[in-house]
Amino acid sequence: MAERERRLTPPRGGVFVPRVQVLSQDDVQRALTRIAHEIVERNHGLEDVVLVGLQTGGVPLAYRIAQVLEEVSGASVPVGTLDVAFYRDDIGIRPVLPEAVTDIPGDLAGRLVVLVDDVLFTGRTVRAALNALADYGRARAVQLAVMVDRGHRELPIRPDFVGKNIPTRLDEQVDVSLEGVVLGDVLPR
Amino acid sequence: MSALRAPAPAAPAEPVPPAPEGRPTRRHLLSVADLDPAGIGEVLAVTDHLAEVVRRSIPRVQALRGRTVVSLFAEESTRTRLSFETAARRMSADVMTFSSASSSVKKGESLRDTVETIAAMGVDAFVVRHPAAGAPAQVARWVDAHVVNAGDGWHEHPTQALLDCYTIRQVLAEAAGVPVAQTGTEGFAGLRVGIVGDVRHSRVARSLVLALSMLGARTTLVAPGTLVPPSLEGWPVVGVSHDLDALLPDLDVVYLLRLQLERGTGAYLPSLREYTAGFGLTARRAARLAPHAVVMHPGPMNRGVEIADEVADATRSVVLRQVANGVAVRMAVLYLLLAGPEAPGADELGRSLGVAGG
């Protein structure tokens, strides 16, 4: 999300200037390992679980969680990717373009979907993702895993699994990757 | 053409918001020339996403909810009109249909009245098919809505060219064994395309030649002398041939055009049989094509004239795929014009509302 935000929010095409590293690479790995265990714990196993990473920031995290799940349980968990561009509520008031083609493994009817994203901010991306998921079948339940919850929700949405809660200013940017979490600002180029 | 596209001096100056990254703001798709190679690439990339939507059990997204698209067809058409209307509906836009082949809309002034009346009902986009070249450009000058050219006379049919490019890109990706969404437009460089038939009367050929040349393909026109355009100025082709048999083994794509008998093509030919003997893609000719070569046709096909039955239905024919891709490509065009990053005003409005990301 951070990358997309950088590109699309004014000043568009600005430069991300890192200010402080909040989580190191090891911290991110540990958080993902914990989230994986929490997913198993919450659902009493991995039956019917499907991970769906939100394009683009959530996808590498979803694959990493699936890897940990396979290591701890021996079961392979299907991973899908979802681009919510066509479901956003800001189409027409801000440039919205899809980034990568959606790939959902099979029908989601009766499955337990864990949405994975890097940053939870206003909640509008998750709202769009919930609408999108409905078009792939009626999931038994949908849970939300995020690496960073930065606050400033505009919708009644909360995460089930959180890597780290980071209080932020509205104009700050959070950059999440498997290499760490960095807080910074976007400055006009 | 340039005279048609120049803004009318009387048109009120409208504030155009600065386009992102120095690229032009796109209001209309009147000609393939409205796009640049990157623009064609963008349409094809967005089409990948919408092709995924079309493949679903519920092939619909709400991306254009609340927008109204009018199909204004002043000339017979089945597939193009249905394709555009399906595309608009699958994006949840409202669709109004105005279909008339009657003489009243063929006269300039009354077309204007028609268009302005429809526009007054609140319309976001016009999809215009008209027997007169330049009619969509005129409509674009009269209304605030976006205009998509769905074929105007002998001039252009840009969405057909785009869906043909998408189909070629799909075929190239399959040949290379990679998902189509992971390919760009590199595969077009040096691609040898033969466009065969009634080039003179073909808006499809004009649009396709422009698009293919932008993407780096090498296009040859193949036609009897009478069906070659009187001037090849503005046709970026590598050559014109009157001998299909000599060219066949060297082509990657054979694009057959429909003989436009309703436009009086018959008068340019001694007989249909003679045309078929020289330029029809018969089974005997198809056997001489390179093993990887594909056969395309914009439809509707005159079976037994420009294309033989057994060739039209052979595996190397991608005609039905062209039709299937048409819906996704038109969804992409409507989306990019109405809601894409270069849709005028999008960014300004978002900024004034203080819309944040995430």
pLDDT band (50, 70, 90) for residue B343: low
Positive or negative: CA dihedral B87, B89, B93, B97: positive
**Which CATH number covers residue A55?**
3.40.50.2020
Average pLDDT of span B206-230 = 95
pLDDT band (50, 70, 90) for residue B264: confident
In this predicted structure, what is the pLDDT of residue A21?
94
Contact yes or no for B194/B254 (Cβ under 8 A)? yes
pLDDT score of A174 more than 60? yes
Average pLDDT of span B218-229 = 94
A120-150 pLDDT, tens digit each: 999 999 999 999 999 898 999 999 999 999 9
Under an 8 A CB cutoff, do A92 and B339 touch?
Answer: yes
pLDDT band (50, 70, 90) for residue B350: very low
* A125 reaches B (C-beta below 8 A): yes
Name, in order, each residue with C-beta under 8 angstroms of B95's C-beta and a sequence gap of 6 or more.
Answer: B68, B69, B70, B71, B85, B88, B89
pLDDT band (50, 70, 90) for residue B181: confident
Residue A100: count of CB within 10 angstroms of its CB: 17
In this predicted structure, what is the pLDDT of residue A90?
83
Partner B, chain A 138-157, Cβ-Cβ below 8 Å: 150, 152
pLDDT band (50, 70, 90) for residue A106: confident
In this predicted structure, what is the pLDDT of residue A187?
81
Structure tokens given for B72: 């204004």
Under an 8 A CB cutoff, do A93 and B342 touch?
Answer: no
Chain A interface mutation, best of B21, B25, B47, B49, highest count of A Cβ atoms under 10 Å: B49
B58-95 pLDDT, tens digit each: 899 989 988 999 999 988 888 899 999 999 999 999 99
Q: What are the phi and psi torsion angles at B177 (to 5°)? A: 75, 30
Name all domains of chain B by residue range, CATH numbers in brackets.
26-155+325-344 (3.40.50.1370), 158-321 (3.40.50.1370)
Contact yes or no for B257/B204 (Cβ under 8 A)? yes
**Structural domain count of chain A:** 1
Under an 8 A CB cutoff, do A122 and B339 touch?
Answer: no
In this predicted structure, what is the pLDDT of residue B340?
63
- For chain A, state the CA radius of gyration: 16
Mean pLDDT of chain A: 89
Positive or negative: CA dihedral A89, A90, A91, A96: negative
Residue A121 lies in domain: 25-168
A173 domain-assigned: no
In this predicted structure, what is the pLDDT of residue B18?
39
A183 domain-assigned: no
A18 domain-assigned: no
In this predicted structure, what is the pLDDT of residue B108?
56
Instruction: Tell me how far the alpha carbon of residue B275 is from its chain's centroid.
Output: 26
In this predicted structure, what is the pLDDT of residue A3?
52
pLDDT band (50, 70, 90) for residue B13: very low
Cis amide bond preceding A56, omega within 30: yes
In this predicted structure, what is the pLDDT of residue A186?
81
- For chain B, state the CA radius of gyration: 20
The span from the CA of B169 to the CA of B194, in Å, is 16
State pTM to two decimals.
0.85
DSSP readout, B212-248? Answer: HHHTT-EEEEE--GGGS-S--TT---SEEES-HHHHG
Under an 8 A CB cutoff, do B358 and A122 touch?
Answer: yes
- Give residue ranges of B with CB < 8 Å to any A CB: 20-21, 46, 48-49, 52-53, 56, 58, 60-64, 91, 181, 335, 338-343, 346-347, 349-351, 353, 355-358
pLDDT score of B341 more than 80? no
Under an 8 A CB cutoff, do A97 and B46 touch?
Answer: yes
B280-305 pLDDT, tens digit each: 999 999 999 999 999 999 989 999 99
In this predicted structure, what is the pLDDT of residue B78?
82
Lowest mean pLDDT among B95-104, B268-277, B306-315: B95-104
Under an 8 A CB cutoff, do A91 and B339 touch?
Answer: yes
A14 domain-assigned: no
B147-158 pLDDT, tens digit each: 999 999 999 999
A7 domain-assigned: no
A9 domain-assigned: no
Task: Name the DSSP class of B343.
Answer: S
pLDDT score of B6 more than 80? no
In this predicted structure, what is the pLDDT of residue B105?
56
Lowest mean pLDDT among A11-15, B33-37, B80-84, B276-280: A11-15
A174 domain-assigned: no
A117 domain-assigned: yes
pLDDT band (50, 70, 90) for residue A99: confident
- Chain B closest CA to A178's CA: distance in Å? 19
Mean pLDDT of chain B: 86
Average pLDDT of span A57-82 = 94
Positive or negative: CA dihedral B301, B302, B305, B310: positive
pLDDT score of B26 more than 90? no
Average pLDDT of span A25-34 = 96
